[in-house]
Amino acid sequence: MIEIGLTGWSDHPLICPDPKRKLVDYASHFPIVELDSSFYAIPPAKNITKWIETTPDTFQFIPKAYAPLTGHKGQIKETRSLEELFKIYRLTFDPMVKRGKIKAFLFQFPPTFVCQKEEVSYLRRVRRLMGDLPIAVEFRNQSWYSDEFKEGTLAFLKEMQFIHVVVDQPQTPHNSVPFTPVASNPDKTFIRLHGRNYEGWLGDDTKDWRTFRTLYDYSDEDLEEIKQAALDLEKESKEVTVIFNNNSGGHAAKNAKTLQKMLGIEFDGLAPQQMNLFL
C-alpha cells in the first residue's frame, strides 16, 4: 500500500483555501499528514483532542519529535531532563496512539548527528524511552550512508525496528544525504521529499534560507523517479508513505496530486469535500 501526504495543513491553498477549515479540508484529500508543529513545542492536550475529533477515524498523523529530543540545540531552551521530556511527549500523544491515529513518530536528526558510538547509543536510548511505538528515523549527515557505515546503519535500523526515512534532496556538500531507497522495517517505509533546490539548501548567502530551501516544483520526470522508488519499496514494506515537504512555493499539494494520479491510487475513508456551488 502506498499513501501520500504533506507536511502540515496550513501552507496548501490549493486544497485548504478556507482558514477555518484547513485540517478538515486537508483530510478530504489525503489520509495522512506530518505534524510539524510538535518539533517546536509539545502541543497542549486541547489541540490533540481537536485534531482527533476533526479528522476521520482512519486519518493518521506523523508527529515530528520535539527538537530537544533529536539534539537540535540552541533552537529551544529547555530545563527539563530528557527522561522527563520523553515521558511528557509520550503522554501527550497517548490519546492518538490509543485511537490508532499515529502512523509513526518522526525523529529527524540534525547534520551534526554523525555516525559514531555516542549517537548510536543515543538511538538505543530513544528506542528504550519510546518503548515499542513506531519510530521513523531521518538522518541529515552523510556519514550514516558512507561506504564504511551504510550497511551497518541499515542493519542497525532493522535491529531497532526503526522505520527508514528515504530522503530526496539536492546533493549539497555539507548538509545532505544520498537518496537511498532501502527498507529497514517490513511494515513501514517513508519517503520524505524536500525538493531539489540546490541553491536553497546551501543556506550560505541569505538570512532567510529556510524560506527558499523547500522552494521546488517537482517535474513529471522527477515524480516518475519517486513513483518507481515507491513501487520498489512496496515490495519490501507493507506500507510506503510519501511525504511532500516542498512547501515554500505551495507546490507540495499539486505535486502530491500528480503522483497520486501517476500511481492510480484512491484513498478510502477521507472526509467529505466541501461543495463549491459555482463549479
Q: Is 5 helix (H, G, I), strand (E, B) or coil?
A: strand
Burial class (CB in 10 A: 0-12, 13-18, 19+), 217: middle
Does 269 fall in a domain? no
% of residues, the chain, pLDDT over 70: 94
pLDDT per residue as tens digits for the range 47-87: 999 999 999 999 999 999 999 999 887 768 888 999 999 99
Q: How many CB atoms are closer than 10 A to CB 158? A: 15
Does 16 fall in a domain? yes
pLDDT score at 278: 31
Does 278 fall in a domain? no
Residue by residue, DSSP assigns 203-227 as --S-TTHHHHHT-----HHHHHHHH
Does 241 fall in a domain? yes
Number of domains in the chain: 1
Q: Range of 167's domain?
A: 2-263
Q: Which residue has the higher pLDDT, 220 or 200?
A: 220
Edge to edge, the sheet with strand 163-168 lists 60-63, 32-35, 2-7, 239-244, 188-193, 163-168, 135-138, 105-108
pLDDT band for position 279 (50/70/90)? Answer: very low
Q: Is the pLDDT of residue 275 over 60?
A: no
pLDDT score at 206: 52
What is the C-alpha to C-alpha distance for residues 154 and 145, in angstroms, rounded to an integer?
Answer: 9
CATH number of the domain at 193, please.
3.20.20.410
Question: End-to-end CA distance of the chain, in Å?
Answer: 32
Q: How many CB atoms are closer than 10 A to CB 243? A: 25
pLDDT score at 203: 66
What is the C-alpha to C-alpha distance for residues 164 and 158, in angstroms, rounded to an integer?
Answer: 8
- Closest by Cα among 279, 275, 277, 278 to 21: 275
Does 270 fall in a domain? no
What is the C-alpha to C-alpha distance for residues 66 and 80, in angstroms, rounded to an integer?
Answer: 13
Q: Is the pLDDT of residue 199 over 80?
A: no
Task: Answer whether 62's CB lies under 8 Å from 35's CB.
Answer: yes
pLDDT band for position 240 (50/70/90)? Answer: very high
Does 186 fall in a domain? yes
pLDDT band for position 172 (50/70/90)? Answer: confident
Least confident of 1-15, 89-103, 201-215: 201-215
pLDDT band for position 16 (50/70/90)? Answer: confident
The residue behind cell 499528514 is 33
Burial class (CB in 10 A: 0-12, 13-18, 19+), 268: exposed
Does 178 fall in a domain? yes
pLDDT per residue as tens digits for the range 174-189: 778 999 999 999 999 9
Across 144-149, average pLDDT:
95
The reported pTM is 0.92
